Amino acid sequence: MADSATYLYAITREKDRARPERLAGLAGVAGAPVRAVAHAGLVAYVSTVPLAEFGEEPLRRSLEDLDWVGETARAHHRVVEAIAMDAATAPVRLVTVYSGEAQVRAMLERRHDDFVKVLKQVAGRHEWGVKVYAHPARPASPAGAQAAEPSGAGPGTAYLRRRRDSLRSRDEAWREAAERAEHIHEALADVAAAARRHRPQDPQLSGREDWMLLNGAYLVDEDRRGEFAAAVEGLREPGIDVEVTGPWAPYSFAALEFAGPEGHDGG
């Protein structure tokens, strides 16, 4: 026991419990098999992981290693997806490690009502990601940048004016983009049961140099999927790119915000 710990992936209601064949042969983090721990009408999906890798000190080092993080995130994701295939699922944040099953059971009991609320909220719904990009190089109003300069101004004045105009148009472009993002987010949120904005991705991570105006997540009813798709289509216009990802398990909507002011366990 002392050399291993219990890694937690996700929670479902016991009546939605994943079929055993879903878990059979499923490799979790560190390649470990996944099992179900049922308690208090809920099921936690867990793996046994070595403390040599998932103890506090090794983890701090591992989290510096993007390959390790990527591999672990994919393994976590794989398990969550398998479970979410046929059940309302509350995914747990990456790298949530308990000392043992008893602690997981205690947590299920303590947080029972919060989980039930979250599971009810996500049932019959999927998360969709919508990323919207604008092209930074494109001025907001091309005509503005080319405004005729008053005659009589010296070259220095003209330079300063151009520079000021350029700064202003950049600011304006940014402000316009932010408003556009807000508008788009609201339009999509109207069709969703819940909506959330993630931070725009770093261009080095997204691989795109365009401005990411919006990195939104939307929890959409299954029977409104078509309506949501139509809303996304309606966003397309010149100068912006829209990228949709999903359906995702409801990662962005599994916060236990009903739990308490801090959303903490308090245990």
For the segment 157-216, give every residue that binds other proteins (CB under 8 A).
198-212, 215
Q: Which is nearer to other proteins, 165 or 235 (CB)?
A: 235
Binding of residue 2 to other proteins (CB under 8 A): no
CB burial of residue 65 (10 Å; 0-12, 13-18, 19+):
exposed
For 237, the token pair is 């216009």
23, 252, 258, 261: which one contacts other proteins (CB under 8 A)?
252
CB of residue 151 vs other proteins: minimum separation in angstroms?
Answer: 37
Q: Which is nearer to other proteins, 77 or 161 (CB)?
A: 77
Name residue 160's beta-bridge partners: none
189, 193, 194, 247: which one contacts other proteins (CB under 8 A)?
247
For 207, the token pair is 């691989």
Contact 253, 194 (CB under 8 A): yes
Binding of residue 35 to other proteins (CB under 8 A): no
CB of residue 101 vs other proteins: minimum separation in angstroms?
Answer: 11
Binding of residue 121 to other proteins (CB under 8 A): no
Binding of residue 45 to other proteins (CB under 8 A): no
In this structure, which amino acid lies at residue 69?
V
Rg (CA), the chain: 24
d(CA 90, CA 201): 24
Binding of residue 91 to other proteins (CB under 8 A): yes
Binding of residue 267 to other proteins (CB under 8 A): yes
Helix (H, G, I), strand (E, B) or coil at 18: coil
CB of residue 147 vs other proteins: minimum separation in angstroms?
Answer: 26
Binding of residue 116 to other proteins (CB under 8 A): no
What does 179-214 look like in DSSP terms, one character per residue?
HHHHHHHHHHHHHSSEEEEPPPPPHHHH---SEEEE
Q: Hey, which residues between 48 and 67 contact other proteins (CB under 8 A)?
A: 51, 54-56, 59, 63-66
Backbone angles phi, psi at 24, to 5 degrees: -65, 130
Size of the site for other proteins (CB under 8 A): 92
CB burial of residue 223 (10 Å; 0-12, 13-18, 19+):
exposed
Binding of residue 137 to other proteins (CB under 8 A): no
CB of residue 3 vs other proteins: minimum separation in angstroms?
Answer: 12
Binding of residue 140 to other proteins (CB under 8 A): no
In this structure, which amino acid lies at residue 28?
G
Q: Which is nearer to other proteins, 144 or 226 (CB)?
A: 226
Q: Which is nearer to other proteins, 138 or 157 (CB)?
A: 138
d(CA 188, CA 244): 12
d(CA 61, CA 181): 37
Contact 240, 213 (CB under 8 A): yes
Q: Hey, which residues between 95 and 114 contact other proteins (CB under 8 A)?
A: 95-99, 103, 106-107, 110-111
